[in-house]
């Protein structure tokens, strides 16, 4: 923390001196690095003129990178990390916050699932990255506009807008891609058309692939002697969509959107512990046998209303259904039950089925008052109905050196680990952006939200006391000060919250990773965050630079606490018996702690020469701790990351080539005192990943055009795991090549 405080003081001193010395300049020319954000402010705004740290990844950049899913695009972004492996399971980590502390949005509408585990959150694969206009990452809280879960950051998939006109022309697109990691194959198809009054866009993507291999090598205390299969990282899935639009007037439109996602037999990744661990007594396999996701969205938007209450108005309503199965296959060698006896074993197999139905509505309006004030306001309503079943079979085999030699006990249970439940939210928000001075823009906003969670009748559950009510009021204020036309001083302060979800409040049983048993805690309260940001943003036609410092304090932070022997002894006899039968390694409970503190520094910049060569770089440093206690598990996320990239893309030639490198610095593995040590050792080791890519387009800008692209990732064939995947060891693929072909007609 001393290092951070010194950095904070130096940066503020530099900013103050800079602000007093620099004269005003005329408006800056358009920049090659210019991006527009919708997520940060609620309306389209130049990212250079907003206070939060924002990253925008365009559709062209997405096509060049050929990601398996949206999370793959985040590995090299400043302030961002990734959790999970394979083409289906990766999820974002923003400024050390992961899982349900990061809000996923699909065109501004919530994707977060209140039936997900805390650290996992919703998967990004629900949205086809080949069908979006941009991917926006807001680094830092955004609860004023988006409510619960936006306590760490927001990831928004901005959909491709329907365009009207074109005289009834119909256009098509198609693509195919192949990757050597797991022999993956991706295909895409799309068709769009429009008239003056009607527009449509239809499309879909289809993926298939096998589990990939990790390369030989050493990573911390783990050593793999040869190429090693990372099980359950294959995938078969499909995404389809249909968008229809009707123009009701010059600035009025009605839209209908249908999204459908299907996935088969995806998993969390598994390397046989016998291949790398001295203690190979546990084998845990976590699978999603299938997942089905459907969403219907109806929207109406109007612009240039010029009424007393609004200049723009938008309302969206949606119906959503998410069905999935989660299976655990756990084998544990519990050792001899007395000296000289053979080893005994516990095998636990569980299957959870969850059906979550969601209904929601979001209204947002804006009004310009005078020439210097913009109001954005609205409300949001959601209702989530969760129905689930659980089936478990635990087989305990006790072995003896003599008769009876073996005793086998089979215990079966069909009581749900979480009762059926309904969660309802209602939120009101308002935000005002004021041009207080020719150089100074100020934004202030507030939100009131109500969250009600109620358990529904479920076999085997007493639900009379399982009803919870949260009331939250949050606010935010920020400023953008123009030091020069190409330089902004920015700062923000905001409060945020995250209500405990269904799993955190109501789960009781074996945890999804299989090693532990979670005990119900009915006393949880909402997490409440206080965030400070300050920085400089510089941008000219051929260059940009950004420096941001932040501190995010989360009071009553919900973390998984490992119970010691004395606490376990205080549990009910029935619970202790169930824990003994399951053979788990530890017992946990979701609890509120006093404060979690995350601090960091983000630096990024880039320059483009007239010949088409561009260089970009970013550096991230994050530190986190539980104030007054043992460190929080921030150490399994990136704490120090540097990224370098060079691209040559001449303006007069239809091709590009690039090189990218990323290095994650080492970090200690610090845990709750009762947590088991990881096989990787006391340090998460540093690693560096290098990649190259190239592509060419024919007939750019014409109706009939083609593109061929290729890349090689992990060029040095290094064994590594993203830090959040290192303790439950799930390494990334070795050297792998990807090639894609696309055509527009």
pLDDT value of position 332: 85
User: Whole-angstrom Cα distance, residue 472 to residue 525?
Assistant: 11
User: Whole-angstrom Cα distance, residue 598 to residue 621?
Assistant: 10
pLDDT value of position 510: 78
Do residues 645 and 659 lie in contact, with contact meaning Cβ atoms separated by under 8 Å? yes
pLDDT value of position 628: 60
Question: Which residue shows structure tokens 């440093």?
Answer: 621
User: Whole-angstrom Cα distance, residue 136 to residue 606?
Assistant: 19
Select from 638, 559, 451 the least CA-distant residue to 76: 638
User: Whole-angstrom Cα distance, residue 714 to residue 689?
Assistant: 5
Can you spell out the DSSP letters for 270-283? B--GGGT-S---EE
User: Whole-angstrom Cα distance, residue 108 to residue 505?
Assistant: 27
| Backbone φ, ψ for residue 168 (5° rounding) | 80, 10
Number of H helices, E strands in the chain: 6, 41
Length of the chain (residues):
745
Q: Determine the 3-state secondary structure of 62 from DSSP.
A: helix
Do residues 355 and 414 lie in contact, with contact meaning Cβ atoms separated by under 8 Å? no
Do residues 237 and 264 lie in contact, with contact meaning Cβ atoms separated by under 8 Å? yes
Bridge partners, residue 360, by sequence: 318, 382
- Residue 523 burial by Cβ neighbours in a 10 Å radius (0-12, 13-18, 19+): exposed
| Backbone φ, ψ for residue 174 (5° rounding) | -155, 155
DSSP annotation of 120:
T
Cα 87 → chain centroid: 14
pLDDT value of position 407: 93
Q: Residue ranges of the chain with pLDDT lower than 50? A: 1, 4, 8, 10, 12-27, 633
| Backbone φ, ψ for residue 573 (5° rounding) | -55, -35
User: Whole-angstrom Cα distance, residue 418 to residue 379?
Assistant: 30
pLDDT value of position 29: 60
User: Whole-angstrom Cα distance, residue 349 to residue 345?
Assistant: 13
Do residues 450 and 468 lie in contact, with contact meaning Cβ atoms separated by under 8 Å? no
The encoded tokens of residue 745 equal: 């007609």
Can you spell out the DSSP letters for 66-107? --SSGGGGGTTSTTEEEE--TTT--EEEETTEEGGGEEEEET
Helix (H) or strand (E) holding 616: strand 613-626
| Backbone φ, ψ for residue 673 (5° rounding) | -55, -30
pLDDT value of position 630: 53
DSSP annotation of 19:
H
Provide the strand spans (E) within 371-413: 373-399, 406-413
In angstroms, how far is the first alpha carbon of the chain from the final one?
56
3-state helix, strand, coil in the chain (%, to 5): 10, 55, 35
Select from 243, 231, 229 the least CA-distant residue to 133: 243
Written in H, E and C, the secondary structure of 460-516 is CCCCCCCEEEEEEEEEEEEEEEEEECCEEEEEEEEEEEECCCHHHHHCCEECCCCCE
Q: Determine the 3-state secondary structure of 675 from DSSP.
A: coil
């Amino acid at each position: 923390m001393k290092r951070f405080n010194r950095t904070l003081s130096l940066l503020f001193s530099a900013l103050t001196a800079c602000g007093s010395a620099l004269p005003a300049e005329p408006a800056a020319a358009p920049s090659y690095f210019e991006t527009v954000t919708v997520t940060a402010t609620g309306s389209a705004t130049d990212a250079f003129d907003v206070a939060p740290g924002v990253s925008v990844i365009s559709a062209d950049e997405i096509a060049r990178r050929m990601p398996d899913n949206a999370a793959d695009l985040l590995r090299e972004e400043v302030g961002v990390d990734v959790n999970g492996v394979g083409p289906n399971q990766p999820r974002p980590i923003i400024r050390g916050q992961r899982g349900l502390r990061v809000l996923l949005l699909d065109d501004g509408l919530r994707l977060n699932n209140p039936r997900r585990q805390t650290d996992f959150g919703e998967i990004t694969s629900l949205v086809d990255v080949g069908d979006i206009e941009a991917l926006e990452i807001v680094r830092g809280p955004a609860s004023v506009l988006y409510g619960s879960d936006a306590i760490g950051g927001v990831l928004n998939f901005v959909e491709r807008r329907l365009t009207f006109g074109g005289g009834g022309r119909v256009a098509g697109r198609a693509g195919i891609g192949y990757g050597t990691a797991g022999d993956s194959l991706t295909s895409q198809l799309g068709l769009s058309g429009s008239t003056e009054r009607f527009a449509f866009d239809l499309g879909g993507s289809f993926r298939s692939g096998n589990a990939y291999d990790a390369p030989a090598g050493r990573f911390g205390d783990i050593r793999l002697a040869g190429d090693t299969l990372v099980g359950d990282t294959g995938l078969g899935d499909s995404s389809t969509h249909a968008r229809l639009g009707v123009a009701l007037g010059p600035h009025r439109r009605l839209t209908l959107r249908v999204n459908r996602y299907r996935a088969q037999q995806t998993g969390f990744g598994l390397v046989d512990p016998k291949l790398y661990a001295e203690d190979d007594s546990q084998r845990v396999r976590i699978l999603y046998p299938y997942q089905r996701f459907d969403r219907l969205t109806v929207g109406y938007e109007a612009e240039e209303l010029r009424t007393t209450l609004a200049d723009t108005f938008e309302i969206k309503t949606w119906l959503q259904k998410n069905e999935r199965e989660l299976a655990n296959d756990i084998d544990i060698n519990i050792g001899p039950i007395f000296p000289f006896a053979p080893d005994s074993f516990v095998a636990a197999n569980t299957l959870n089925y969850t059906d979550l139905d969601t209904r929601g509505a979001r209204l947002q309006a804006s009004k310009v008052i005078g020439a210097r004030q913009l109001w954005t306001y609205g409300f949001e309503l959601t209702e989530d109905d969760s129905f689930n079943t659980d089936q478990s079979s635990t087989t305990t085999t006790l072995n003896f050196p003599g008769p009876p030699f073996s005793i086998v006990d089979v215990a079966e249970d069909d009581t749900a680990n979480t009762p059926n439940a309904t969660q309802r939210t209602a939120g009101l928000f308002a935000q005002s952006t004021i041009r207080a001075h020719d150089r100074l823009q100020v934004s202030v906003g507030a939100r009131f939200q109500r969250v009600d969670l109620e358990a529904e009748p479920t076999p085997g559950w007493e639900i009379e006391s399982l009803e919870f009510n949260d009331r939250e009021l949050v606010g935010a204020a920020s400023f953008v000060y123009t030091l020069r036309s190409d330089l902004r001083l920015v700062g923000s302060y905001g409060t945020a919250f995250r209500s405990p979800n269904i799993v955190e409040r109501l789960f009781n049983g074996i945890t999804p990773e299989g090693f532990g048993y979670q005990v119900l805690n009915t006393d949880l309260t909402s997490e409440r965050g206080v965030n400070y940001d300050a920085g400089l943003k510089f941008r000219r036609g051929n260059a940009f630079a950004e420096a941001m410092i932040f501190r995010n304090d989360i009071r009553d932070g919900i973390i998984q606490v490992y119970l010691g022997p004395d606490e376990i002894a205080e549990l009910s006899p029935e619970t202790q018996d169930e824990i003994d039968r399951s053979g788990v390694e530890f017992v946990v409970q979701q609890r509120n702690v006093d404060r979690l503190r995350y601090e960091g520094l983000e630096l990024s910049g880039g320059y483009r020469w007239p010949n088409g060569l561009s260089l970009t770089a970013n550096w991230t440093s994050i530190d986190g701790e539980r104030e007054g206690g043992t460190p929080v598990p921030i150490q399994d996320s990136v704490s120090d990351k540097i990224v370098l990239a060079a691209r040559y893309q001449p303006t007069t030639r239809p091709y590009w080539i690039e090189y990218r490198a990323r290095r994650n610095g080492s970090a200690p593995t610090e845990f709750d005192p009762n947590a088991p040590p990881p096989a990787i050792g006391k340090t998460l080791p540093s690693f560096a990943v290098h990649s190259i890519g190239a592509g060419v387009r024919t007939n750019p800008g014409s109706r009939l055009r083609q593109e061929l692209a290729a890349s090689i990732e992990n060029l040095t064939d290094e064994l590594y795991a993203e830090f959040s995947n290192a303790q439950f060891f799930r390494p990334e693929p070795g050297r792998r090549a990807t090639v894609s072909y696309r055509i527009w007609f």
